[in-house]
Amino acid sequence: MTAVQGTAVDIPTEDGTADAYLAHPADGAAHPAVLLFMDAFGLRPQLRSMADRLAAEGYTVLVPNVFYRHGRAPLFDLPEFIDPGSRPEIFERIVPVMQDLTNERAMRDAGAYLHWLAESPAVADGPVALTGYCMGARLSLLTAGTYPERVAAAAGFHGGRLATDTPDSPHLVAGKVTAELYFGHADQDHSLPEEQIERLEKALTAAGVRHRCEVYTGAPHGFTQADTAAYHQEGDERHWSALLDLLKRTF
């Protein structure tokens, strides 16, 4: 197993400073970059662990606190094991912060994250890959469509509201995407009903985007997050296999 170095970094943005976690092989060399977009629970040990696992595969991984406008991580008082069913007040704090991160703000930030990676000595020259979880899957798709020249591959897992009927729906960027895309949907996910899955698939196909969208049977929303009640081991292992396959094809 490759030794990994993890550090806290600060990224200047147009609206302030985003705190982030950077993980990369501890060999002093430059490696292909992966920008990992967090879920709504935020930058925490679980996401650092996921970044470390990716870094051990030979990548430089950046996990920004996309909620930085509201403070540095950890932003929410979360238990070690997150069960929103027994702690509904968790979402009472999180939802307004999520809603404050408009597409415009998120994509302005994404440009700053991509610029920071391009300047980092730990990152190899060339485009990057993206992966995102829950709300991060939406950010992954939007970034691929907003910065096509910088993104070679993008993945999203248990993403919600990816193809709504609103004018700011993420699937509407499909025509600008040049990256290869992969989405692993949860089949028990109220935030991504079947009609949205079909709408996303049709949009990507019509735009000629190289992509694969798969529905993970038995997987709930949030299935990759081992520190939550939604964790689904089979779905998580499938997610790692699909993500690493995508990265190997890309780099």
pLDDT tens-digit series, residues 147-183: 999 999 999 999 999 999 999 999 999 999 999 999 9
Q: 130 CB contacts (<8 Å, ≥6 apart)?
A: 34, 35, 36, 37, 140, 143, 144, 151, 153, 154, 155, 179
- Confidence band of 2 (pLDDT split at 50, 70, 90): confident
Whether the Cβ atoms of residue 74 and residue 42 lie closer than 8 Å to each other: yes
Structural domains of the chain sorted by starting position, each given as residue range(s) with its CATH number in brackets: 4-250 (3.40.50.1820)
Whether the Cβ atoms of residue 65 and residue 93 lie closer than 8 Å to each other: no
Whether the Cβ atoms of residue 55 and residue 61 lie closer than 8 Å to each other: yes
Q: Hey, which residues are catalytic here?
A: 134, 189, 221
CB atoms inside a 10 Å sphere around CB 124: 14
Question: What's the pLDDT at 87?
Answer: 73
Question: Coil, strand, or helix at residue 146?
Answer: helix
Q: Average model confidence (pLDDT) for the chain?
A: 96
Window from 34-38, 79-83, 208-212, 213-217 with minimum mean pLDDT: 79-83
Cα 147 to Cα 35, 118, 178, 179, 202, distances in angstroms: 13, 13, 9, 10, 22
Cα 198 to Cα 18, 32, 37, distances in angstroms: 35, 32, 24
pTM for this structure?
0.97
State mean pLDDT over 51-75.
98
Q: What are the pLDDT digits (tens) for 80-90? A: 899 877 777 88
